[in-house]
């Protein structure tokens, strides 16, 4: 393995650990400061910190399906590990690595909650549009996935993505 490839993997793992740690820290703050309390209003009628325990997926769907969510997270992490391993260490692929880092950190952040508590701590609430309550890990997954779609559609060309093929070149 080249030094550039080692640097890519180490950078990915450090960023991943920082993001997952930040997610867990914010959830810890939510539990400590918001659990059993009235919502903390940031902007009246628009945004507040509102403690919630989510035993389902996004928007509260699929309640009590913890094993399913665990398996999905493991599959996501396996796919990300494959892509990072196959990824050329060139700077052109750094945005892709950051997207994958965000998605995997979000998946692990919520998986930690599911395994340790049986639910995910949510606390960010856009009251103005009555958007479902979410957390920092959800933000990572959403932003990472949206940027990934953008990169694949508009930035990378087919030949840039050939390195991830299962076919031998």
Q: Evaluate whether 106 touches 15 at the Cβ level (below 8 Å).
A: no
Respond yes or no: is residue 138 known to be catalytic: yes
Q: Tell me the two tokens of residue 82.
A: 């494959």
Q: How many CA atoms lie within 13 A of 139 on its CB side?
A: 14
Q: Evaluate whether 164 touches 83 at the Cβ level (below 8 Å).
A: yes
Respond yes or no: is residue 122 known to be catalytic: yes
Largest CA distance in the chain: 59
From 23, 113, 122, 158, active-site residue: 122
From 113, 138, 158, 160, active-site residue: 138
Residues with active-site annotation: 122, 138
């Amino acid at each position: 393995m080249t030094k550039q490839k080692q640097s890519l993997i180490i950078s990915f793992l450090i960023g991943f650990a920082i993001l997952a740690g930040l997610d867990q820290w914010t959830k810890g703050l939510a539990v400590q400061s918001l659990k059993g309390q009235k919502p903390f209003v940031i902007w009246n009628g628009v945004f507040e910190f509102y403690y919630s325990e989510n035993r389902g997926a996004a928007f509260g769907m699929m309640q009590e399906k913890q094993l399913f969510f665990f398996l999905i997270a493991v599959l996501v992490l396996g796919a990300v590990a494959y892509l990072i391993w196959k990824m050329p260490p060139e700077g052109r692929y750094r945005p892709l690595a950051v997207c994958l880092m965000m998605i995997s950190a979000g998946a692990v952040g919520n998986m930690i909650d599911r395994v340790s508590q049986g639910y995910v701590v949510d606390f960010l609430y856009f009251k103005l549009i009555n958007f479902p309550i979410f957390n920092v890990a959800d933000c990572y997954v959403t932003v990472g996935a949206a940027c990934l779609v953008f990169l694949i559609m508009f930035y990378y060309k087919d030949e840039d993505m050939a390195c991830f093929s299962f076919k031998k070149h």
